[in-house]
Chain A
Protein backbone atom coordinates (compact mmCIF):
# COMPACT_ATOMS: atom_id res chain seq x y z
CA UNK A 1 0.00 0.00 0.00
CA UNK A 2 1.19 3.54 -0.68
CA UNK A 3 2.61 5.39 2.31
CA UNK A 4 0.47 8.44 1.68
CA UNK A 5 -3.20 8.60 0.83
CA UNK A 6 -2.70 9.90 -2.69
CA UNK A 7 -5.81 9.98 -4.84
CA UNK A 8 -5.79 6.82 -6.96
CA UNK A 9 -7.79 5.84 -10.00
CA UNK A 10 -10.66 5.28 -10.60
CA UNK A 11 -11.23 9.01 -10.67
CA UNK A 12 -14.01 8.59 -13.19
CA UNK A 13 -16.39 10.63 -11.03
CA UNK A 14 -14.38 13.85 -11.28
CA UNK A 15 -14.84 14.27 -15.02
CA UNK A 16 -17.45 16.43 -16.68
CA UNK A 17 -19.00 14.42 -19.50
CA UNK A 18 -17.17 14.85 -22.79
CA UNK A 19 -16.53 12.66 -25.83
CA UNK A 20 -12.82 12.35 -24.95
CA UNK A 21 -13.46 10.60 -21.64
CA UNK A 22 -16.42 8.64 -23.01
CA UNK A 23 -14.40 6.94 -25.78
CA UNK A 24 -11.60 6.14 -23.34
CA UNK A 25 -13.92 4.54 -20.77
CA UNK A 26 -15.93 2.70 -23.43
CA UNK A 27 -12.70 1.37 -24.98
CA UNK A 28 -11.88 -0.33 -21.68
CA UNK A 29 -15.46 -1.47 -21.13
CA UNK A 30 -15.73 -3.01 -24.60
CA UNK A 31 -12.29 -4.57 -24.11
CA UNK A 32 -13.45 -6.34 -20.96
CA UNK A 33 -16.66 -7.49 -22.64
CA UNK A 34 -14.75 -8.74 -25.69
CA UNK A 35 -12.45 -10.71 -23.37
CA UNK A 36 -15.55 -12.61 -22.28
CA UNK A 37 -16.44 -13.06 -25.95
CA UNK A 38 -13.24 -15.04 -26.53
CA UNK A 39 -14.82 -17.71 -24.32
CA UNK A 40 -17.67 -18.09 -26.85
CA UNK A 41 -15.08 -18.58 -29.62
CA UNK A 42 -13.36 -21.16 -27.41
CA UNK A 43 -16.64 -22.95 -26.60
CA UNK A 44 -17.69 -22.92 -30.27
CA UNK A 45 -14.39 -24.45 -31.40
CA UNK A 46 -14.40 -27.12 -28.68
CA UNK A 47 -17.99 -28.02 -29.59
CA UNK A 48 -17.14 -28.14 -33.29
CA UNK A 49 -14.25 -30.49 -32.49
CA UNK A 50 -16.32 -32.80 -30.28
CA UNK A 51 -19.42 -33.43 -32.39
CA UNK A 52 -22.83 -32.42 -33.80
CA UNK A 53 -24.65 -32.61 -30.44
CA UNK A 54 -22.23 -30.25 -28.71
CA UNK A 55 -22.32 -27.91 -31.72
CA UNK A 56 -26.15 -27.92 -31.64
CA UNK A 57 -25.99 -26.61 -28.05
CA UNK A 58 -23.80 -23.68 -29.18
CA UNK A 59 -26.22 -22.97 -32.05
CA UNK A 60 -29.17 -23.13 -29.64
CA UNK A 61 -27.45 -20.67 -27.31
CA UNK A 62 -26.54 -18.28 -30.14
CA UNK A 63 -30.08 -18.26 -31.53
CA UNK A 64 -31.76 -17.81 -28.12
CA UNK A 65 -32.80 -14.26 -27.21
CA UNK A 66 -30.03 -13.93 -24.62
CA UNK A 67 -27.51 -15.27 -27.15
CA UNK A 68 -28.70 -12.83 -29.81
CA UNK A 69 -28.52 -9.96 -27.33
CA UNK A 70 -24.96 -10.94 -26.33
CA UNK A 71 -23.94 -11.34 -29.99
CA UNK A 72 -25.33 -7.87 -30.76
CA UNK A 73 -23.36 -6.52 -27.79
CA UNK A 74 -20.21 -8.28 -28.94
CA UNK A 75 -20.67 -7.03 -32.51
CA UNK A 76 -20.92 -3.43 -31.38
CA UNK A 77 -18.10 -3.85 -28.85
CA UNK A 78 -15.87 -5.30 -31.56
CA UNK A 79 -16.79 -2.48 -33.97
CA UNK A 80 -16.07 0.19 -31.35
CA UNK A 81 -12.88 -1.40 -30.00
CA UNK A 82 -11.63 -1.99 -33.57
CA UNK A 83 -12.25 1.58 -34.77
CA UNK A 84 -11.08 3.22 -31.54
CA UNK A 85 -8.10 0.85 -31.49
CA UNK A 86 -7.08 2.04 -34.96
CA UNK A 87 -7.45 5.59 -33.63
CA UNK A 88 -5.17 4.71 -30.69
CA UNK A 89 -2.57 3.28 -33.09
CA UNK A 90 -2.64 6.52 -35.08
CA UNK A 91 -2.26 8.49 -31.84
CA UNK A 92 0.73 6.29 -30.98
CA UNK A 93 2.51 7.64 -34.05
CA UNK A 94 1.60 11.17 -33.00
CA UNK A 95 -1.50 11.88 -35.08
CA UNK A 96 -4.83 13.38 -34.04
CA UNK A 97 -3.92 15.17 -30.81
CA UNK A 98 -5.18 18.70 -31.61
CA UNK A 99 -8.35 19.10 -29.48
CA UNK A 100 -10.76 19.71 -32.42
CA UNK A 101 -9.35 16.67 -34.30
CA UNK A 102 -9.47 14.58 -31.13
CA UNK A 103 -13.13 15.42 -30.57
CA UNK A 104 -13.99 14.88 -34.24
CA UNK A 105 -12.26 11.46 -34.27
CA UNK A 106 -14.17 10.50 -31.12
CA UNK A 107 -17.45 11.10 -32.94
CA UNK A 108 -16.23 9.33 -36.09
CA UNK A 109 -15.39 6.27 -34.00
CA UNK A 110 -18.68 6.35 -32.06
CA UNK A 111 -20.97 6.82 -35.08
CA UNK A 112 -18.77 4.54 -37.20
CA UNK A 113 -19.12 1.73 -34.65
CA UNK A 114 -22.93 1.97 -34.86
CA UNK A 115 -22.83 1.96 -38.68
CA UNK A 116 -20.47 -1.03 -38.72
CA UNK A 117 -22.80 -2.92 -36.35
CA UNK A 118 -25.78 -2.21 -38.61
CA UNK A 119 -23.73 -3.31 -41.65
CA UNK A 120 -22.68 -6.63 -40.04
CA UNK A 121 -26.20 -7.46 -38.82
CA UNK A 122 -27.61 -6.33 -42.16
CA UNK A 123 -25.30 -8.80 -43.91
CA UNK A 124 -26.32 -11.51 -41.43
CA UNK A 125 -30.03 -10.92 -42.12
CA UNK A 126 -29.40 -10.72 -45.88
CA UNK A 127 -27.46 -14.02 -45.90
CA UNK A 128 -30.14 -15.60 -43.72
CA UNK A 129 -32.90 -14.56 -46.15
CA UNK A 130 -30.82 -15.68 -49.16
CA UNK A 131 -30.15 -19.09 -47.59
CA UNK A 132 -33.82 -19.57 -46.74
CA UNK A 133 -34.88 -18.66 -50.28
CA UNK A 134 -32.30 -21.04 -51.70
CA UNK A 135 -33.45 -23.89 -49.39
CA UNK A 136 -37.05 -23.12 -50.32
CA UNK A 137 -36.32 -23.20 -54.08
CA UNK A 138 -34.45 -26.49 -53.61
CA UNK A 139 -37.46 -27.92 -51.80
CA UNK A 140 -39.85 -26.74 -54.54
CA UNK A 141 -37.73 -28.35 -57.22
Chain B
Protein backbone atom coordinates (compact mmCIF):
# COMPACT_ATOMS: atom_id res chain seq x y z
CA UNK B 1 0.00 0.00 0.00
CA UNK B 2 1.34 3.42 -0.92
CA UNK B 3 1.08 6.16 1.61
CA UNK B 4 -1.72 8.20 0.13
CA UNK B 5 -3.70 10.49 2.37
CA UNK B 6 -5.78 12.24 -0.26
CA UNK B 7 -8.79 10.41 -1.66
CA UNK B 8 -8.72 9.43 -5.35
CA UNK B 9 -11.57 11.86 -6.10
CA UNK B 10 -9.51 14.70 -4.63
CA UNK B 11 -6.69 13.91 -7.04
CA UNK B 12 -8.95 13.46 -10.06
CA UNK B 13 -11.17 16.49 -9.52
CA UNK B 14 -10.57 19.34 -11.94
CA UNK B 15 -8.45 17.29 -14.31
CA UNK B 16 -11.32 16.41 -16.63
CA UNK B 17 -12.18 12.98 -17.92
CA UNK B 18 -9.50 10.32 -17.92
CA UNK B 19 -11.07 8.81 -21.03
CA UNK B 20 -12.41 10.27 -24.25
CA UNK B 21 -15.01 12.41 -22.48
CA UNK B 22 -17.95 13.41 -24.60
CA UNK B 23 -16.52 12.20 -27.92
CA UNK B 24 -18.66 9.03 -28.12
CA UNK B 25 -21.77 11.00 -27.14
CA UNK B 26 -21.11 13.69 -29.75
CA UNK B 27 -20.37 11.32 -32.64
CA UNK B 28 -23.48 9.28 -31.79
CA UNK B 29 -25.62 12.45 -31.97
CA UNK B 30 -23.99 13.83 -35.11
CA UNK B 31 -24.42 10.54 -37.00
CA UNK B 32 -28.01 10.42 -35.68
CA UNK B 33 -28.79 13.86 -37.14
CA UNK B 34 -27.28 12.81 -40.48
CA UNK B 35 -29.27 9.58 -40.43
CA UNK B 36 -32.62 11.39 -40.04
CA UNK B 37 -32.31 12.72 -43.59
CA UNK B 38 -30.38 9.75 -44.97
CA UNK B 39 -32.90 7.16 -43.69
CA UNK B 40 -35.81 9.03 -45.27
CA UNK B 41 -33.82 9.08 -48.52
CA UNK B 42 -33.06 5.35 -48.14
CA UNK B 43 -36.75 4.52 -47.70
CA UNK B 44 -37.50 6.41 -50.91
CA UNK B 45 -34.68 4.54 -52.72
CA UNK B 46 -36.00 1.22 -51.40
CA UNK B 47 -39.49 2.05 -52.68
CA UNK B 48 -38.12 2.88 -56.14
CA UNK B 49 -35.88 -0.23 -56.15
CA UNK B 50 -38.87 -2.46 -55.38
CA UNK B 51 -40.05 -2.16 -58.96
CA UNK B 52 -36.78 -1.73 -60.81
CA UNK B 53 -35.09 -4.43 -62.86
CA UNK B 54 -31.33 -4.92 -62.56
CA UNK B 55 -30.35 -2.27 -65.11
CA UNK B 56 -32.68 0.35 -63.63
CA UNK B 57 -31.50 -0.45 -60.08
CA UNK B 58 -27.87 -0.08 -61.12
CA UNK B 59 -28.55 3.18 -62.94
CA UNK B 60 -30.38 4.49 -59.86
CA UNK B 61 -27.42 3.89 -57.52
CA UNK B 62 -24.92 5.03 -60.19
CA UNK B 63 -26.59 8.45 -60.32
CA UNK B 64 -24.00 10.76 -58.69
CA UNK B 65 -26.41 12.26 -56.15
CA UNK B 66 -27.61 8.81 -55.05
CA UNK B 67 -24.09 7.36 -55.02
CA UNK B 68 -22.84 10.12 -52.71
CA UNK B 69 -25.92 9.90 -50.49
CA UNK B 70 -25.42 6.13 -50.28
CA UNK B 71 -21.78 6.59 -49.26
CA UNK B 72 -22.86 9.08 -46.58
CA UNK B 73 -25.55 6.65 -45.39
CA UNK B 74 -23.08 3.75 -45.21
CA UNK B 75 -20.52 5.69 -43.15
CA UNK B 76 -23.13 7.21 -40.81
CA UNK B 77 -25.12 3.97 -40.37
CA UNK B 78 -22.20 1.62 -39.67
CA UNK B 79 -20.55 4.17 -37.38
CA UNK B 80 -23.80 4.80 -35.49
CA UNK B 81 -24.41 1.03 -35.25
CA UNK B 82 -20.93 0.44 -33.83
CA UNK B 83 -21.37 3.19 -31.21
CA UNK B 84 -24.79 1.90 -30.17
CA UNK B 85 -23.77 -1.75 -30.01
CA UNK B 86 -20.69 -0.73 -28.00
CA UNK B 87 -22.88 0.81 -25.27
CA UNK B 88 -25.19 -2.20 -25.19
CA UNK B 89 -22.21 -4.55 -24.80
CA UNK B 90 -20.71 -2.32 -22.07
CA UNK B 91 -24.02 -2.36 -20.21
CA UNK B 92 -25.01 -5.98 -20.48
CA UNK B 93 -21.92 -8.17 -20.85
CA UNK B 94 -20.02 -8.39 -17.61
CA UNK B 95 -17.58 -11.22 -18.30
CA UNK B 96 -14.48 -9.23 -19.25
CA UNK B 97 -13.14 -11.61 -21.94
CA UNK B 98 -16.55 -11.89 -23.60
CA UNK B 99 -17.02 -8.11 -23.49
CA UNK B 100 -13.62 -7.48 -25.10
CA UNK B 101 -14.20 -10.16 -27.75
CA UNK B 102 -17.67 -8.80 -28.58
CA UNK B 103 -16.41 -5.21 -28.79
CA UNK B 104 -13.62 -6.18 -31.18
CA UNK B 105 -15.91 -8.38 -33.31
CA UNK B 106 -18.52 -5.58 -33.57
CA UNK B 107 -15.85 -3.07 -34.61
CA UNK B 108 -14.41 -5.47 -37.20
CA UNK B 109 -17.87 -6.35 -38.56
CA UNK B 110 -18.94 -2.68 -38.80
CA UNK B 111 -15.73 -1.68 -40.53
CA UNK B 112 -15.86 -4.60 -42.98
CA UNK B 113 -19.56 -3.96 -43.70
CA UNK B 114 -18.85 -0.30 -44.38
CA UNK B 115 -15.76 -1.02 -46.49
CA UNK B 116 -17.55 -3.67 -48.59
CA UNK B 117 -20.56 -1.38 -49.12
CA UNK B 118 -18.39 1.60 -50.10
CA UNK B 119 -16.43 -0.62 -52.49
CA UNK B 120 -19.70 -1.84 -54.08
CA UNK B 121 -21.05 1.71 -54.51
CA UNK B 122 -17.79 2.81 -56.18
CA UNK B 123 -17.93 -0.17 -58.56
CA UNK B 124 -21.57 0.63 -59.41
CA UNK B 125 -20.93 4.36 -59.82
CA UNK B 126 -17.85 3.89 -61.99
CA UNK B 127 -19.43 1.03 -63.92
CA UNK B 128 -16.64 -1.50 -63.42
Distance from A28 Cβ to chain B, minimum over Cβ atoms (Å): 6
Residues of B close to A89: CB separation below 8 A: 29, 32-33
**What A residues does B61 contact at CB under 8 A?**
45, 48
Contact among B32, B47, B54, B92 with A127 in the assembled complex (CB-CB below 8 Å)? B47
Judge whether B107 is part of the interface by a CB distance below 8 angstroms.
no
Residues of A within 8 A of B81 (CB): 31, 34-35, 38
Given the known interface contacts A28-B88, A42-B116, A48-B61, the answer about A120 and B32 at a Cβ–Cβ threshold of 8 Å is no
Residue contact B51 to A9, C-beta cutoff 8 Å = no
Interface residues on B, range: 35 or more
Contacts of B113 in A (CB 8 A): 38-39, 42
**B54, B91, B94 — most chain A CB neighbours (10 Å):** B54
| Shortest Cβ distance from residue B64 to the other chain A in the assembled complex, whole angstroms | 16
* Residue A8 at the chain B interface, CB threshold 8 Å: yes
A-B contact pairs, 6 of them (CB 8 A): A28-B88, A41-B74, A41-B77, A45-B70, A45-B116, A55-B57
Question: Can you name 20 extra interface pairs (CB under 8 A) apart from A38-B77, A45-B117?
Answer: A1-B94, A9-B92, A10-B91, A10-B92, A31-B81, A38-B117, A41-B77, A41-B117, A45-B61, A46-B116, A48-B61, A48-B124, A49-B119, A49-B120, A55-B54, A56-B54, A78-B39, A88-B32, A123-B47, A127-B47
Interface residues of B (CB under 8 A from A): 29, 32-33, 35-36, 39, 42-43, 47, 50-51, 54, 57-58, 61, 70, 73-74, 77-78, 81, 84-85, 88, 91-92, 94, 96, 113, 116-117, 119-121, 123-124
